[in-house]
Amino acid sequence: MNPTEIYRTWVEVSFDALRSNLAWIRHRVGPRVKILAVVKADAYGHGLPQIAGALMHGGVDVFGVATLNEALGVRAVGAGWPILLLGCSLPAEVETAVRHNVMPTISSLDEARRFQRAAARQQKTLAVHVKVDTGMGRLGFWHAEAADAIRRIAAMPNLRLQGAYTHFPSAEDDAAFSLEQVERFRAVVRKAGVQIPLRHADNSAGVLNVHARGRRFGSLFNVVRPGLMMYGIVPPGLPPVPALQPTLSFKSRVLLVKRIAAGRSVSYGRTFVARQSMRVAIVGAGYGDGYSRDLSNRGEVLIRGHRCPVLGRVTMDQTIVDVSDARFRNLRAGEEVVLVGKQGHDCITAVELATRAGTIPWEAMTSITKRVPRVYTGAAT
């Protein structure tokens, strides 16, 4: 018996695709560049412990997370791996971060002093990364003041300056501005005049759209931070990369097939009214599973390798789709429905799903809820 037969909605994650994507990234950036794998938000909805374990075997160098809890989740999988906390640390988290050797991102001298005091109390030297704001306008020291801050942090006796980095806000559609950011960052590194072992800027879009153009910057950057592309998804606005394989499929099952007469309405708000007699299938996934309500009357699913339009509003636990076509004449409860992924000769990508929902693939993937079981295929090692 196929274990997924007991699930009405589930996610399938391919370790083989993940490993293939990581190999492609390694080839793209070259052997001298370290890979910082971004596994925040439950590894983009794929499952943090499982993905972290597979990536450890796959040979990543550093893990990137958004919260201390995520860092501790990675630490529970592998004790010795470098982990960079990409977000700010709350004052109450500092002692725990130091105790577990989580590298914090430093965006202010107050943060640096908190970590210095905690490391001194624990009689440790803590590796830290400094964030430089070159145009994102979020975390980090503004680039005009960053060199002085880096020097001051490097002089703190219980902190070890392990890295400095910046972030691209529009690498997928504005390579010129991204390269201007690179110039600003290079000026900071030169002006700071201290040893910075790890220097990074490239997210997924940066690797695909900026990295090659920035080769004239030589050895300035020696780390990349792939997130979305590691999971086989190319950021919207960039050309497809056939070598990248989606690691996640989002699936459900037909719960019920019924006929509705002309003039009958479907779902909450009566936003769809049948113009003629039709057959519909009730699918066992809704917004409570992460299938967005914004797909109401605009989404499509795959059944038997063919597209079926969503009818009416997506509800918490079910979605109604049109199966009037003759190809579905003998459709039965229990048959597989693909919300994201391939079935037959057709495929609904995460980018397509997100576009139909008026959002981005990052949100579409991370919105798949915890009640949806994750099923892993292929070898993790």
Q: Are the C-beta atoms of 322 and 285 separated by less than 8 Å?
A: no
Euclidean distance between CA atoms 95 and 91, whole angstroms: 8
Q: At 110, is the secondary structure helix, strand, or coil?
A: helix
Q: At 76, is the secondary structure helix, strand, or coil?
A: helix
Q: Which of 7, 124, 191, 268 is catalytic?
A: 268
Please report which residue ranges of the chain form alpha helices under DSSP H.
15-29, 40-45, 48-58, 68-77, 94-99, 109-121, 143-154, 175-192, 204-209, 350-357, 361-366
What separation in angstroms does the CA of 34 have from each of 57, 204, 218, 262, 377? Answer: 15, 14, 15, 61, 27
Question: What value, to the nearest 5°, has the Cα angle with vertex 80 and ends 78 and 82?
Answer: 100
What separation in angstroms does the CA of 11 have from each of 46, 291, 353, 369? Answer: 8, 12, 15, 10
Euclidean distance between CA atoms 46 and 322, whole angstroms: 29
Euclidean distance between CA atoms 159 and 125, whole angstroms: 5
Instruction: Please indicate whether residue 40 is annotated as part of the active site.
Output: yes
Instruction: Please indicate whether residue 287 is annotated as part of the active site.
Output: no
Q: Which of 7, 34, 40, 124 is catalytic?
A: 40
Q: Which two tokens stand for residue 216?
A: 């004239």
What separation in angstroms does the CA of 329 have from each of 111, 151, 274, 322? Answer: 64, 72, 18, 12
Euclidean distance between CA atoms 298 and 249, whole angstroms: 20
Q: Are the C-beta atoms of 314 and 295 separated by less than 8 Å?
A: yes
Q: Are the C-beta atoms of 329 and 305 separated by less than 8 Å?
A: no
Residues identified as active-site: 40, 268
